[in-house]
Amino acid sequence: MRLVLYQPDIPQNTGTLMRLGACMGIGLDIVEPCGFPLSDRDLKRAAMDYAGHADVVRHRSWAHFLKARDDGSRLVLLSTRGDTSYIGFKFRPGDRLVLGRESAGAGEEVWNSVDASITIPMMPGMRSLNIAVSAAMVLGEALRQTDGFPNPL
């Protein structure tokens, strides 16, 4: 299982997701262009000393990401416009959880490529959760379903 960050805008969120990936043993694919330099001070601050433990692969575009993905994994997009609640979705160990841009969501090229789209149920009138919070919630459920949590013992 991996997290896919599509053109992230906010370095603090990317750093937080790098830390999440390092702690859970989950790789990250970062699809550029990013809204900040990947050497950004805020990114390093958010990832802290976990960045060196994170399995991060950079892709210069969505097309390059798709070309490099040769493992047959499903692309599962997290979106406020998703058609299935993540609670009822059946995750698989090789799924790649795709997160759109904080400012604009996922582009049409992403929507045209994904195998499924899921959403987090929220109270009426609420727009969205922070992207790192959303990723952590969904990843937690995906790891629970697939027995994918790290075993520290």
Give the CATH number of domain 2-145. Answer: 3.40.1280.10
pLDDT, one tens digit per residue, over 43-59 is 667 677 888 888 999 99
Spell out the domain ranges in the chain: 2-145
pLDDT given for residue 37 in this prediction? 81
Whether the predicted pLDDT of 140 surpasses 90: yes
Task: List the beta bridge partners of residue 58.
Answer: 30
Q: Which residues contact 64 (CB under 8 A, 6 or more apart)?
A: none
pTM, two decimals, is 0.93
pLDDT, one tens digit per residue, over 66-113 is 999 988 899 999 999 999 999 999 999 999 999 999 999 999 999 999
Alpha carbon distance 136, 120 (integer Å): 11
Alpha carbon distance 6, 11 (integer Å): 13
Write b or e for each residue in 51-77: b if 16 or more Cβ atoms lie within 10 A of its Cβ, otherwise e: beebebeebeebeebeeebeeebebbb
